[in-house]
Amino acid sequence: MSKQKKSETSDLSRLLGIDKVIHEPARFMILAYLSAVESADFVFLLNQTGLTQGNLSFHLSKLEESEYVGIQKQFIGKRPHTLLSITDKGRKALKEHLRVMKELIDGLFGAY
């Protein structure tokens, strides 16, 4: 096996170590939007991401479990209102994920 092949294999093995919570496209999209603003509500994310209510709700729960997203529930009048923001942990994890992915892509396809 050539040196280049060896380095590619070792690079690919790094894929196993990436954060699977962020790597899921819908969750990645949610975190990307939340990292671009200070905070946003559920309806805003619904419109921007194009996800269904159930889907968005599910992925937000996952992100909250991992402490990547802070969820603040309140009532405006009689209507429920959910304000969401990315946590420091979430921002750090997103940055790290982007760095690893960039390195992997550069390492694998940089020559092309």
What is the distance of C-alpha 46 from the center of its chain?
Answer: 15
Q: Which two tokens stand for residue 6?
A: 């060896």
| By CB under 8 A, residue 92 contacts other proteins | no
d(CA 58, CA 55): 5
Selected binder of other proteins within 46, 101, 104, 108 (CB under 8 A): 46
| By CB under 8 A, residue 86 contacts other proteins | no
| By CB under 8 A, residue 74 contacts other proteins | no
| By CB under 8 A, residue 68 contacts other proteins | no
d(CA 56, CA 53): 5
Which amino acid appears at position 67 of this protein?
E
Q: Which residues bind other proteins (CB under 8 A)?
A: 32-33, 35-48, 53-54, 57-58, 60-61, 64-65, 71, 73, 79-83
